[in-house]
Chain A
């Protein structure tokens, strides 16, 4: 007779990990930006229960989704605030460290042993700089991608400013992006007005005329096909079972049911699977972070 003691073992596991969770996070930290900055990691965990590792992973997910989705996704305000602050701090940290090296080499440059030591101890510095460069690349690419979309959906985004919009523009864009959007639109409008539009009859002067034979406001391509990876709910966060998640009767696998409007068809997105889907079908799952674009 087998007695299933998995839950008891899991309880024991949790106790031991609770003791040295900081140790574990330290070993994981070499993939992150603030790898050496243990003090700050601990401080953050106590306050908000976020870590640079997780933030970086979330940022990568946001970046990937933003690159592949046809629409402009909401701006991750808090995440970006944290990340930008960390970049700032890390830059200062590196600067302080390199000051230390300056002093070291000045004092003991004659002995070859000590020079070797300083050479070796420069490795962490190199690592930190390369890591910082990596994070900055992701940030830049993310923001530029968003700017390109803001350019493209200039007129469409302006509709969010009007009353009755589902999402307000402040949530969708950051403060700087809002300013960019406003001023870029003003400049574009001025150019069009001065060069062409003022020569046209008054009823043809609008740039956002949707009643004509061709719509002038370009909407995101809602039905574009995207590749999705069904990651499922975050396994790290223990929470109530996802109400949208269903279990298949035939295979016993967990899946999300989605409906494809045009075909009146049901599709099952099994966890761990990769699918090619229309964007509007999986949009909600993407916003809930159950599914990732790849």
Chain B
């Protein structure tokens, strides 16, 4: 995940629900009403690249935070839909049948970012399990090549349609290497 990584940029643009901890004047355009103030406890969907910074940076300068023990950050991140308990349970029950793509096309990237942000050990374990289970499936699909079918661009199966962007890269790479090895073995 580097600065110029396009997939990373796309993943960072995903909207995350946030709640504001302060009244901030002039920021109403985040909510859609330009020219107004943003109210405390207002729920706004912010892209991750913005939410991540605002959730860390505190409003020490704000007079309302003086009385509190800790400086409260500008916003509070609310667990997004893609990591809801519903999804976590679905992963635990059967990673291979989960339609990751319909949840979010950058599921892994986002989940990893989320886990780093909150030091979420449990989430990491679930993700590890999911990746291992699914990569076996990906590997199966990648090695058994139906060259003719693929050459004609036919549907390689429903599982392929559930891959997220990260898994697609894995699939593509392993598929290419399998295909090229076979070609080399056959053609000499």
Chain A 194-222, CB-CB to B under 8 Å as 1, else 0, gives: 00000000000000000001111110000
Task: State the CA gap A216–B2 with chains docked (Å).
Answer: 7
- Inter-chain contact B3/A213, CB cutoff 8 Å: no
Query: Which residue of A is nearest B4, CB measured?
Result: A218
Q: How far is the CA of A217 from the CA of B2 in the complex (A)?
A: 8
CB-CB under 8 A from A216, the residues of chain B are 3
**A217 contact set on B, CB distance < 8 A:** 3
- Closest B residue to A213 by beta carbon equals B53
Q: What is the CB-to-nearest-CB distance from A68 to chain B, in angstroms, rounded to a whole number?
A: 14
Q: Among residues 1 to 50 in chain B, which have CB atoms less than 8 Å away from a CB atom of chain A? A: 2-4, 49
Q: Are A218 and B3 closer than 8 Å at their CB atoms?
A: yes
Distance in angstroms from A73 CB to nearest chain B CB is 20
- Name the distance in Å between A152's Cβ and chain B's nearest Cβ: 9
Q: Is the CB of A215 within 8 A of B52?
A: no
Residues in A whose Cβ lies below 8 Å from that of B4:
218
Interface SS of chain A: loop
* Contact indicator B52/A213 (Cβ below 8 Å): yes
Q: Which residues of B contact A214 (CB under 8 A)?
A: 3
Bitwise, A251-290 to B at CB < 8 A (1) or not (0) is 0000000000000000000000000000000000000000
Scoring A213, A215, A217 by chain B CB atoms within 10 A of each residue's CB, the highest score goes to A213
CA–CA, A213 and B3, complex, Å: 10
Bound complex: CA A223 to CA B3 (Å): 18
Q: How far does the alpha carbon of A218 sit from the alpha carbon of B2 in the complex, in Å?
A: 6
Q: Distance in Å from the Cβ of A288 to the closest Cβ of chain B?
A: 29
Q: Give bound CA distance, A285 to B49, whole Å.
A: 39
Please give me the residue from chain A that is nearest to B2 by CB atom: A218
Give the distance in Å from the alpha carbon of A216 to the alpha carbon of B5 in the complex.
11
- Taking the closest CB of chain B, its distance from the CB of A181, in whole angstroms, is 18
* Chain A residues near B52 (CB-CB < 8 A): 213
Identity of the chain B residue whose Cβ is nearest the Cβ of A209 in the assembled complex: B3
Q: Complex formed: what's the CA distance from A284 to B52 in Å?
A: 37
Can you name the residue of chain A whose Cβ is closest to the Cβ of B8?
A214
Q: Give the distance to chain A from B122, nearest Cβ to Cβ, in Å.
A: 19
* A214 shortest CB reach to chain B, Å: 5
B2: A residues at CB distance < 8 A: 215, 218
Give A262 Cβ to nearest chain B Cβ, in Å.
13
Whether A215 and B49, one on each chain, are in contact in the complex, defined by CB atoms closer than 8 angstroms, is: no
CB of B13, distance to nearest CB on chain A (Å): 13
Find chain A residues with CB under 8 A from B53 CB: 213
- In the complex, which residues of chain A have a beta carbon less than 8 angstroms from the beta carbon of B49? 213
The residue in chain A whose Cβ has the minimal distance to the Cβ of B9 is A214
| Alpha-carbon gap, A217 to B4, bound state (A) | 10
- A216 to chain B: closest residue by CB: B3
A213–B47 alpha-carbon span in the complex (Å): 14
Contact residues of B with A, CB < 8 Å? 2-4, 49, 52-53
- Supplied contacts A213-B52, A216-B3, A218-B3, 8 more A-B pairs, CB within 8 Å: A213-B49, A213-B53, A214-B3, A215-B2, A215-B3, A217-B3, A218-B2, A218-B4
Please name 11 pairs of A and B residues whose Cβ atoms are closer than 8 Å in the assembled complex, sorted by A: A213-B49, A213-B52, A213-B53, A214-B3, A215-B2, A215-B3, A216-B3, A217-B3, A218-B2, A218-B3, A218-B4
> Which 7 pairs show the lowest CB-CB distances between chains A and B?
A218-B2, A216-B3, A213-B53, A214-B3, A218-B3, A215-B3, A213-B49
